[in-house]
Amino acid sequence: MRPSDIAISNYRSIRRLFMPIQPLSVFVGENGVGKSNLYKSLSLLRDAATGRITRTIADEGGLYSVFWSGNRRRGDDARLRLAVRFDHVRYSIELGFPSPVVAAFPGEPMIKSETIEATHGKKTILMMERTNSLVRVRAENGTWSQHKDAVLPSETALAGFSDGKGSPEIDLIRNAMLSWRFYHDFRTDPASPIRKPCLAITTPSLSADGHDLAAVLVTLFTIRQDAGDLQDAIEDAFPGAELRAWEKNGLCEFQLQQADMPRPFKAHELSDGTLKYICLL
C-alpha cells in the first residue's frame, strides 16, 4: 500500500502540516526551513510500526527536545500527533507528557492514543482505538474486543497486536510502514561497513546504514539477474564503466571498473561520493 497523505502536529519546527504524497515528491529549501524534520517525522511513523517510537524520541532528547519549538501559551495543545493514510485506511498516533499519577521520568514520551480508521465510500469506520492503556479492536463481524493494560504507555498497539485474522487492518498498516526505507546518510570513512565484504544472504532492499550493499548487488546480479537499470545508471554517471558483484566463500563483494583506469576499484578504494552514489542506486 502506498501512502497518500500525512499529517503532522507539534513536531520540532512543524506546528501543523497536512501534505499529500505523490509517487515522487521532491523537497527543496534553504537550511533550517524544516526539510529534515519532515523527513524525521516519517521515520517516527515507521518506528510506531516497530514499537520503538518512544525509544527514538527518548534518544533525541525526550519530548522536551522534539516538541514544537515555537512559542506556546497556557492551554495550548501539548501533544505530538502523526498520521498517515493508505488508500482507504488511516493510522494516527498521539504522544504526550506523563500525567502526574503515572510513574515516569519528566519528559518521557507517553502514547496517549492510537486509531485506525477505514473508509468505505463516504462512511468512516473506526477499526482500532487506543486510549492510554485501553485498546479496543473491531473484529471482521463488527464486534469490539477490549484489552486493558495490554500494552505499556511506551508501546504502540500497532506493534503489539498482530492477529491478522481478527484485525487485518492493523497488519496491513504495520506491514506497509515496516517496508519503508530511510536513507539519510551513509558512512564512507575507512572503517565503514559499506567498504567491507558482507555475508552472502539474499537481500532485496538496502539497509538504512548500507552495510549490506554488496549483498544487495549480488542479489541483483546473480539471483534476480536484473541489474540492467543499475548498469544504465552507472554508465550514465561513468561512461564506459562496469559494476561487478560476486559471492565467494560465503561473502559478497563488488568492484567498479572505469574506462580510463587500468584495474577495477573495490569498495575500500572508491571515493566517498562514488560509494554513496552506488548506495542510492
Mean local confidence (pLDDT), 176-196: 92
Mean local confidence (pLDDT), 48-72: 87
All residues at 6 or more sequence positions from 240 whose CB lies less than 8 Å from its CB, including other chains: 258, 259, 260
Q: In what order do the strands lie in the sheet with 14-20?
A: 14-20, 3-11, 79-86, 89-96, 110-120, 123-131, 134-138, 144-148
| Residue 38 pLDDT > 60 | yes
Contact 125, 136 (CB under 8 A): no
With CA atoms as reference, report the closest residue to 7 among 97, 79, 99.
79
Which residues is 138 bridged to in the sheet? 144
- 88: phi then psi, degrees, rounded to nearest 5: -105, 5
| Residue 20 pLDDT > 90 | yes
Residues in the chain: 281
Which residues is 140 bridged to in the sheet? none
- What pLDDT, on a 0 to 100 scale, did the predictor assign at position 100? 67
Residue, of 108 and 265, whose pLDDT is higher: 265
With CA atoms as reference, report the closest residue to 223 among 249, 193, 240, 245.
245
Mean local confidence (pLDDT), 224-234: 93
- Reported as a single tens digit per residue, the pLDDT across 247-264 is 999 999 999 999 999 999
| Residue 222 pLDDT > 80 | yes
- What pLDDT, on a 0 to 100 scale, did the predictor assign at position 103? 63
- What pLDDT, on a 0 to 100 scale, did the predictor assign at position 101? 65
- 110: phi then psi, degrees, rounded to nearest 5: -120, 135
To the nearest whole number, what is the mean pLDDT of the chain? 90
- Does this model's pTM top 0.85? My answer is no
| Residue 275 pLDDT > 90 | yes
Mean local confidence (pLDDT), 241-248: 96
- Reported as a single tens digit per residue, the pLDDT across 79-115 is 999 999 998 899 999 999 887 666 667 678 889 999 9
| Residue 190 pLDDT > 90 | yes
- What pLDDT, on a 0 to 100 scale, did the predictor assign at position 85? 95
- Reported as a single tens digit per residue, the pLDDT across 125-168 is 999 999 988 999 988 788 898 888 888 888 999 998 876 556 78
- 183: phi then psi, degrees, rounded to nearest 5: -120, 80
With CA atoms as reference, report the closest residue to 3 among 20, 27, 25, 16.
20
C-alpha cell at 219: 542479489
- What pLDDT, on a 0 to 100 scale, did the predictor assign at position 102? 67
